């Protein structure tokens, strides 16, 4: 499903991001915590962590890293493929995350947004963010094969 972002989608994402970006670390930590609990098969990528429980230090740190990537994607929203090139190489060659997991993390990010921003996370914002995260996942999958 390759659906590109319209000008309206991009504007919606940027406006919403401006509201929520200061909570980036908290969003990342919570989304990652949920992914590890609700989809335990994803723990396989983090077996080197001492503690995978919700809110633990490695989870918080990594949540911040992931949302840093999302912030970068927002800034490069007009050309995600070239903008996220090195991140794609990282995921493809070094991390080798099965791209099926991108959808899982995206879902959990949306759940966290619904909890933290109940009035701002309207259906219109929801569809724009869902499309955006899908586009980010596609850009990250570029170098896989």
Residues that bind other proteins (CB under 8 A): 30, 33-34, 36-38, 54, 107, 110-112, 114-115, 118, 121-124, 126-127, 130
CB of 12 to other proteins, least distance (A): 11
CB of 39 to other proteins, least distance (A): 9
Output 112 or 139, the one with its CB closest to other proteins. 112
Count Cα atoms within 13 angstroms, Cβ side, for 57.
2
Q: How many Å apart are CA 133 and CA 1, to the nearest integer? A: 13
Q: How many Å apart are CA 74 and CA 79, to the nearest integer? A: 10
Output 38 or 75, the one with its CB closest to other proteins. 38
- Say if residue 52 is exposed, middle or buried (CB neighbours under 10 Å; 0-12, 13-18, 19+): middle
Output 2 or 94, the one with its CB closest to other proteins. 2
């Amino acid at each position: 499903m390759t659906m590109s972002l319209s000008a309206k989608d991009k504007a919606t994402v940027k406006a919403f991001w401006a509201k929520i970006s200061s909570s980036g670390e908290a969003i990342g930590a919570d989304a990652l915590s949920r992914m590890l609990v609700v989809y335990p098969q994803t723990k396989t990528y983090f077996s080197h962590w001492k503690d995978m429980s919700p809110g633990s230090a490695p989870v918080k740190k990594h949540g911040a890293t992931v949302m840093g990537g999302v912030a970068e994607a927002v800034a490069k929203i007009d050309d995600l493929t070239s903008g996220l090139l090195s991140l794609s190489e990282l995921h493809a060659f070094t991390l080798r995350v099965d791209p099926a997991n991108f959808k899982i993390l995206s879902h959990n990010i949306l759940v966290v947004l619904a909890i933290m921003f109940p009035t701002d996370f309207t259906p219109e914002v929801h569809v724009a963010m869902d499309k955006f995260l899908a586009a980010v996942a596609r850009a990250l999958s570029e170098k896989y094969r």
